[in-house]
Amino acid sequence: MSRAAAAGQLTSAARPPLGRRLRGRGDATLWFWVFVGPFFLGLLIFIYVPILWSIYLSFFEARNTVSPAPDQFVGLGNYRDMLGDPAFVDSLRTFAVFAAFIVPVTFALSLATAVLVARTAVAQAFFRSVFFLPTACSYVVAALIWKMSIFSGVPSGAANSVLALFGAETIPWLSVTNPPWYWLVIISARLWLQVGFYMILFIAGLQRINPTLYEAAAIDGAVGWAAFRSITLPLLRPTSVAVLLLLLINAFQAFDEFFNILSTFAGYPPYARPPLVYLFYTALGQGQDFGHGGAGAVILTGVIALVALVFGRLFRTAD
């Protein structure tokens, strides 16, 4: 018997069987793949492969097919069409308007709520749960409740019923009117859904601030707004940057509120469609234009990455 065969037998004899290794802690790599493997496989099949295939389709004339022929290759033609499409450009403007309002308002409400809850001495856990509970609600369900119950646009809707109590006229919330009241419906739904989540992030940041700093500031007469401006805001900067970045990315990904509250866009102006809604109708509408849809998705991803990079450079904080 050769030395290599003898060494192989000794190694296999010294190595315990798979069942015994799984019951112990000796093979950390094996345990890593036991737990991470199924998740990684699902991530690969349902996330990365579709993303790469969407990029591939963006270079083809892919209508009603996800496997275009080689002669349907158009290069960067789909990208030129999307950048020259007024509807797609209008959808980007919709994001700009939506983000310009929803990001600072959500940030301010989340921070204010976190400060109030953190300073509450009674039933603090209850208030945390109350404000955080809407986060567990589906965006689709919340959008349908906003559309069919609260802002239904008929006198039986909750919002119009409240207005009627004060003698005010009812408002067609979801109609194409001037001013466009449907923006208030969409923004209020998103605020209700996400303020609680960012409140928890701010509370975690507030808990990291040493209380002795406030005591020392109080001795010098810095209380209330002065302490908040001099201590709370500077020490919350890492959390604030993370929250602002998440809010920007979520604004880019706005879909459920627009799609389910406005449902059909017949009669609505083009700027009522954010980028994801426009791409949804492009790729999965009647034409099923996967080539232009993929190109638009790549462009939108590039815009998100560019905004995140610029934002991170502007508000970079030390580790």
Q: Which has more pLDDT, 316 or 300?
A: 300
- Least confident piece of the model among 165-169, 213-217, 271-275: 271-275
Asked if the model's pLDDT at residue 10 lies above 50, the reply is no
| C-alpha span between 250 and 304 (Å, rounded) | 10
Query: Phi and psi for 199 in degrees, rounded to 5?
Result: -60, -40
Under the banding of pLDDT at 50, 70 and 90, the label for residue 263 is low
- Burial class of 202 by CB neighbour count within 10 A (0 to 12, 13 to 18, 19+): buried
Report pLDDT digits (tens) over 107-141: 999 999 999 998 887 888 888 888 999 988 888 88
Read off the pLDDT of each residue in 279-285 and give the average, rounded to a whole number: 81
pTM of the complete model beyond 0.85: no
Q: Half-sphere exposure (CA, 13 Å, Cβ side) for 62? A: 25
| C-alpha span between 145 and 43 (Å, rounded) | 32
Inter-residue contact 193 to 139 (CB < 8 Å): yes
Residue 91's nearest CA partner among 274, 255, 256 is: 274
Q: Which has more pLDDT, 317 or 252?
A: 252
Report pLDDT digits (tens) over 220-260: 777 778 888 888 888 898 899 889 989 988 888 888 888 88
Residue 93's nearest CA partner among 282, 293, 274 is: 274
Residues comprising the chain, all counted: 319
Read off the pLDDT of each residue in 210-224 and give the average, rounded to a whole number: 80
Inter-residue contact 47 to 35 (CB < 8 Å): no
Q: Which two tokens stand for residue 235?
A: 């020490």
| C-alpha span between 38 and 174 (Å, rounded) | 44
pLDDT of residue 319: 46
pLDDT of residue 110: 95
Percent of the chain with pLDDT over 70: 84
pLDDT of residue 105: 94
Report pLDDT digits (tens) over 43-80: 999 989 988 999 999 999 988 888 888 888 988 989 99
| C-alpha span between 162 and 144 (Å, rounded) | 19
